[in-house]
Amino acid sequence: MTTGLEIRPAAEADVAAIVALIRALAEYEKAAPGAVSLTDELLREALFGARPALEALVATVAGEIGGYALFFHNFSSWRGRRGLYLEDLFVRPELRGRGIGQALFAELTRLARERSCARIEWVVVDWNSPAIGFYQSQGAAPIEGWTLWRADVPPA
């Protein structure tokens, strides 16, 4: 575990750093140039606006943000309980292997338990074997027989 590591809820002052890390995640995942249209203003509104769409945790090492997790509640109609959907969990490449991702995931798990959530769900790109190995080490497994579907909604 990294000395000086702190996991905390994101603050408005963290928005620009989180957006920069989201862009780094998109680059890591080999997204097309310009694929990220997120701005500081859009993330600020999503996190801290009148109707927040999601929450964020940040991992700081010696006061600098080295990783983050973005998540929001979903609902299981079969279980009748909320869940957490993990949109992103990202640690800067130079800080990987120091327990930061594990600390972020442990805090997310703690929050899910505290909120009586039935589960935590997320998506991993097929080729990302380091992430797949990490999630398996946390006790997670892929959902066999299910395929993620998406329908983009054009602007009004």
Residue 84 lies in a domain: yes
Give per-residue pLDDT as tens, 42-52. 999 999 999 99
| Residue 122 maps to a domain | yes
pLDDT tens profile 80-97: 999 999 999 999 999 999
pLDDT of residue 43: 98
Q: What percent of the chain has pLDDT over 70?
A: 99
SS in 3 state form for the chain? CCCCEEEEECCHHHHHHHHHHHHHHHHHCCCCCCCCCCCHHHHHHHHHCCCCCCEEEEEEECCEEEEEEEEEEEEECCCCEEEEEEEEEEECHHHCCCCHHHHHHHHHHHHHHHCCCCCEEECCCCCCHHHHHHHHHCCCCCCCCCCCCCCCCCCC
CATH of the domain at 92: 3.40.630.30
Identify the band that residue 108 occupies on the pLDDT scale cut at 50, 70 and 90.
very high
pLDDT at 2: 73
* Residue 24 resides in a domain: yes
With respect to residue 153, please indicate whether it lies within any of the assigned structural domains: no
Q: Which domain holds residue 108?
A: 5-137
Catalytic residues: 135
Whether residue 149 is contained in a domain is answered as: no
Is residue 1 very low, low, confident or very high in pLDDT (cuts 50, 70, 90)? low
- Note whether residue 154 is domain-resident: no
Kindly state whether residue 124 falls inside one of the protein's structural domains. yes
- Domain presence at residue 142: no
Q: Are 2 and 95 in contact (CB under 8 A)?
A: yes
pTM here is 0.93
pLDDT above 80 for 147: yes
- Confidence at 28, pLDDT banded by 50, 70, 90: very high
Task: Please count the structural domains in the chain.
Answer: 1
Q: pLDDT at residue 122 above 80?
A: yes
**Mean pLDDT across 11-40:** 96
* pLDDT band with cut points at 50, 70 and 90 for residue 148: confident
